[in-house]
Amino acid sequence: MRRRYPCEVPAPAPIRRIAHLDMDAFFASVELLRYPQLKGLPIVIGGGRRRVDEIISQKYSDRPPSEIPPAAFPLLKDYVGRGVITTATYAARQFGVGSAMGMMKAAKLAPDALVLPVDFEEVRRYSRQFKSIIREIAPVVEDRGVDEVYIDFTEVPGGQREGGRVLARLIQKAIHEQTGLTCSIGVAPNKLIAKMASEFNKPNGISVVFEADVQAKIWPLAVRKINGIGPKAEVKLHKLHLHTIGDIAAQDRQWLVDNFGKAYGAWMHDAAWGRDDRPVVTESEPVSMSRETTFDRDLHAVRDRAELGAIFTDLCAQVASDLQRKGYVGKTIGIKLRYDDFRIATRDQTIDRYICDARTIRQVAGQCLKRVPLDRRLRLIGVRVGKLEKAGAVAQPPAAKEADATYEMQGTAEAARGNLDLF
Ligand code: DCP
Ligand code: MG
């Protein structure tokens, strides 16, 4: 006799729920953790010099950063120099200032906004932290840069409740409790819509979009809101009298192909209809591996050459060990320097074979170093190996000789001129 099971109908496949999470005013929010007394004030981040903080903290060296009075912070109108704003607090955005705007223009719009430099290391530290908090709750996470990720909610327990809102709230709360930072989350049937939705309720908002909402919530938006329609495509769309996503959706697919090419036209049509089946990719093959270090004090290439040389050699050894441990070889070796004025210089060189040994990395990185000006003090130095392949996938280079711990260090006339030949 055939046994009957209480449930013979297979459970329907769960509906795809994809979240896009984006931190709110990220660089500025990181500064507010250090200076909570500035909360609510208009602040712009930019200028690229840490001097501001240093001056303030020297003057108030007797108290912690959180007790420095707001009046001690520099105002945008007093800012001299060029540079652009990387971000602004929401209070500052009310004056019309925002990312990528020149400091001078911003100073006209919001003269009394405070201006602070960005602390990249702190930003990166929080970036790593908020991503690991998310991964503990929902493991399928795609890293999209310093302050945003996609998360696949579909199979996460509770990920379908209220279309994903419950899980989004949980993640928001965990990040806030553990870092003090806020973020905004959009949950939708796919990445494309989720990315748009995360902006709907910024800051500290959640927005849930279902497939049936596309017409009401997506079609009224400007064409530029589609991630993948840039300024050039926008100009062309405007010339064709298409301004909203709905305008694109109303066009014949073939007409879009005729005007924008086979792939882009078809993609645009799908995007306007909210169709996107790209998966959330948890781990991509690394493009490069690098190690860098910021010095405790700024170092000079000539005066601190022994110290710098040792650090440099050590970084090369670390990159080599990373490559070997993870099983990669690479053929482009590069360096990165950050000067005391925060400018960055990079150089690289591609060699004719794949390597992963410290000695070759050191040798080629040393050559790169000869091609950068070294007359300013350095804050940071980094070594990178790119054009990676899996070690087994390419013909192996001949085994490297036992790494020589001491490298020739000769001062030359070039070094005296500020160009280094020490490494
Ligand atoms: N950023 C930058 N230069 C830009 C844009 C952004 O350096 N032109 C940096 C500063 C931002 C961070 O990247 O803090 C994240 O960028 P977002 O576009 O997500 O902007 P915010 O997080 O600052 O603000 P929002 O709340 O709108 O996401
Ligand atoms: Mg952001």
Q: Is the pLDDT of residue 396 over 90?
A: no
Task: Reply yes or no on domain 122-214 having CATH 3.30.70.270.
Answer: yes
For the segment 154-174, the average pLDDT, to the nearest whole number, is 97
Q: What is the mean pLDDT of residues 257-264?
A: 95
pLDDT at res. 80: 81
Return the ligand 1 atom nearest residue 88 CA: 23
Instruction: Tell me the pLDDT band of 391, cut-offs 50, 70 and 90.
Output: confident
In the 8-state DSSP scheme, what is residue 245?
H
* Least confident span in 5-14, 76-85, 332-341: 5-14
Higher pLDDT pick, 415 / 220: 220
Q: Which atom of ligand 1 is nearest to the CA of 203?
A: 26
Among 72-81, 177-186, 343-352, name the most confident range.
Answer: 177-186
Residue 49 pLDDT class (50, 70, 90 cuts): low
Average pLDDT over residues 128-138: 96
The model's pTM is 0.70
pLDDT at 342: 85
Pocket test for ligand 1, best of 20, 99, 126 (most atoms within 8 A of CB): 99
pLDDT for residue 5: 59
Mean pLDDT of 318-342: 94
Q: What share of the chain is helix, strand, coil (3-state, %, to 5)?
A: 40, 20, 40
Ligand 1 mean position, distance from CA 367 (Å): 35
Q: How far is the CA of 82 from the centre of ligand 2 (A)?
A: 24
Q: What is the pLDDT of residue 413?
A: 28
Residue 113 gets the label, from left (phi > 0), alpha (psi -120 to 50) or beta, of beta
SS (H, E, C) 258-303: HHHCHHHHHHHHHHHCCCCCCCCCCCCCCCEEEEEEEEEEEECCCC
Q: Is 283 a catalytic residue?
A: no
Cα–Cα dist 137/275, whole Å: 27
What are the boundaries of each domain within the chain? 26-120, 122-214, 219-272, 288-416
CATH 3.40.190.10 fits 288-416, yes or no: no
Q: Find out whether the beta carbon of 11 lies less than 6 Å from any atom of ligand 1.
A: no
Q: How confident is the model at residue 261 (pLDDT cuts 50, 70, 90)?
A: very high
Ligand 1 contact, 86 CB (< 6 A): yes
Question: Is 219-272 a domain of CATH 1.10.150.20?
Answer: yes
Find tokens 């000006």 and name the residue: 373
Residue 411, pLDDT score = 28
Write out pLDDT tens, residues 59-107: 888 888 899 999 999 899 988 877 889 999 999 999 999 999 999 999 9
**Whether pLDDT at 188 is above 50:** yes
Same fold, 122-214 and 288-416: no
26-120: CATH topology is MutS, DNA mismatch repair protein, domain I (3.40.1170)
Give residue 56's pLDDT. Answer: 76
Tell whether ligand 1 has an atom less than 6 A from the beta carbon of residue 31: no
| Residue with CA nearest ligand 1 atom 3 | 86
Q: Each residue of 192-239: pLDDT tens digit?
A: 999 999 999 999 999 999 999 999 999 999 999 999 999 999 999 999
Catalytic residue, chosen from 31, 122, 148, 408, is 148
Residue with the smallest CA separation from ligand 1 atom 2 is 86
pLDDT at 405 over 50: no
Residue of minimum CA distance from atom 9 in ligand 1: 86
Distance CA 254, CA 261 (A): 10
Which residue's CA is minimally distant from atom 12 of ligand 1? Answer: 26
pLDDT band at 138 (very low <50, low <70, confident <90, very high): very high
Over the stretch 358-382, which tens digit does the pLDDT of each residue have?
A: 999 999 999 999 999 999 999 999 9
Kindly give the distance from the C-alpha atom of residue 22 to the centroid of ligand 1, in angstroms, as a whole number.
9
